[in-house]
Amino acid sequence: MGSCNTHNPSFLMYALIDCNNFYASCERVFNPKLNDKPIVVLSNNDGCVIARSNEAKALGIKMGEPAFKIKNIIKKNNINAFSTNFALYGDMSQRIMNILSSMIPLIEIYSIDEAFLDLNQHSTTQIYNLCHIIRKKILQGTGIPVSIGVGRTKTLSKIANHISKRKQRYGGVFILNKKDEDLILNEISVSDIWGVGSKLGMFLPSLGINTAKQLKYTNLKFIRSKINIIGEKIVKELRGKSCFDIENLVPSKKSICTSRTFGNMVNDLNDLSSSIAMYATRCAEKLRLQHSYAYLAHVFITTNPFREKTNQYAQSKIIKFPVATNDTSEIIKAILFALEGIYKHGYEYKKAGVILSGIIQRGEVQENLFDSKNRFSNEIIMGTIDKINRKMGQDIVRYAALGYKKKWQLKQQQLSPCYTTRWSELLTINLN
């Protein structure tokens, strides 16, 4: 944890580039009929709204709203609803990040649709021109519109981005210069600051702090005592002292989770076991992908908390491996054993998951004197399975515990084709 950079020359600038309504825009790229039409993208099981086009926002559809509650609005306004297509969004994201990397030496891929850029080598005029070129290149190369905000710290660049996205007149690029900061921060509500969530968004106003400008001029020690060290860093960032650096190296994950809400209620232990075995398999794959090992595995099951009238049950268990592992069969075995311990007959289960933690790198694995496993040959087997499955398709080679009948499978009734990642689903254009 580095301390804040107190020598932050005024020419040092950060940019935040953010794709506009990313998932909705991805759907649009391959289906131009959707231009100017309202679009929503739904979470797994077509459950909640997780992305909206501007037109859908204008119709009053809220983020996170359950789909069944807005069925009528969707029908009445001919809103195009899509199931999530992460293969498509992930691939589009990669293309955008590749374009950025080719133009800017230091970038941080912050999320699937956002990146921070280090622009410290550039003057304000250069930055302005560069940002417009970036927008144009991404639009030409991928069809995705983006907004760019520039400021003296990451937090200020987030605020600048907020403005560029909401005020059409800036043409998608807003540069927050030092002299204008107080004026702009005065217009920003504390709850719109990066790092201020729902709880702080209510708490800060109770202290009389309503705008970003008010927070900026609040005493540091006061904030430290009332909130925590992150609160203090946010204030410093608002003052132009950079506390959050550009992180251009992708750190390996410290925890790996695979969990799903089921398409249908599940009450049978066998069905639960096959789903859990599948999640353990995905987790182990992710673990091997970053060449790490885990010594803790966590399994959890829960009934549907929204169904208040039915009996509720939620339980979890953590298993500690004698030697850190990334072997799918070993993880499945441990997880299924733990599941038997927490499973209770007579409940309708709605969600289950597996989390791996205690993650370490290859060289850090402590061997155990009483270890009976042949870890060397297991690694070769895992590597081979990964290779085959990557080439031939997920779960072509699978453990028997996964089964084939999937009562718990997702509902995805509005899935768009994988235009960019599956040969059979490439877009075809009729030239007659």
Partner DNA sequence: TCTGGGGTCCTAGGACCC
Q: Which lies closer to DNA via its Cβ, residue 9 or residue 251?
A: 251
Q: How far apart are CA 301 and CA 255, in angstroms?
A: 18
Q: What is the DSSP string of 198-247?
A: HHHHHHHHHTT--BHHHHHTS-HHHHHHHS-HHHHHHHHHHTT-B-S---
Residue nearer to DNA on the CB measure, 65 or 379: 65
Q: How many CA atoms lie within 13 A of 142 on its CB side?
A: 28
Q: How far is the CB of 267 from DNA (least distance, A)?
A: 13
Separation of alpha carbons 30 and 253, rounded Å? 33
Nearer to DNA, 196 or 335 (CB): 196
The alpha carbon of 398 is separated from its chain's Cα centroid by a whole number of angstroms, namely: 27
Q: How far is the CB of 410 from DNA (least distance, A)?
A: 7
Token match 């007579």: residue? 346
Q: Which is nearer to DNA, 140 or 366 (CB)?
A: 366
CA distance 175 to 193: 17
- Candidates 132, 136, 130, 88; CA nearest to 112 is 88
Least distance CB 348 / DNA (angstroms)? 8
Give the three-class secondary structure for 227: coil
Residues with Cβ within 8 Å of 340's Cβ and at least 6 positions away in sequence, in order, are 269
Handedness of CA 219, 223, 225, 231 (dihedral sign): negative
* Most distant CA atoms of the chain, gap in Å: 72
Q: Between residues 122 and 215, which has the closer beta carbon with respect to DNA?
A: 215
CA distance 181 to 388: 55
CB of 105 to DNA, least distance (A): 23
**Residue 68 or 404 with smaller CB distance to DNA:** 68
The nearer residue to DNA, 122 or 338, going by C-beta atoms, is: 338
Smallest separation, CB 163 to DNA (Å): 14
Tokens representing 400?
Answer: 């028997």
CB of 33 to DNA, least distance (A): 26
Q: What is the dihedral of CA 398, 401, 404, 406, to 10 degrees?
A: -120
Nearer to DNA, 103 or 265 (CB): 265
Cβ of residue 250: shortest distance to DNA, in angstroms?
10
Given a contact cutoff of 8 angstroms between Cβ atoms, the answer to whether 359 and 255 are in contact is: yes
Residue 45 or residue 153: which is nearer to DNA going by CB? 45
Q: Are 235 and 220 in contact (CB under 8 A)?
A: yes
The residues that touch DNA, with contacts defined as CB under 7 A, are 1, 43-45, 47-48, 50, 64, 66, 68, 110-114, 158, 193-201, 228-230, 251, 253-261, 265, 282, 286, 304, 306-307, 318, 350-351, 353
> HSE on the CB side for 192, CA within 13 Å?
19
Q: How far is the CB of 226 from DNA (least distance, A)?
A: 11
Tell the smallest beta-carbon distance from residue 306 to DNA (Å).
4
Give the list of residues 6+ apart from residue 405 with CB closer than 8 angstroms, or none. 274
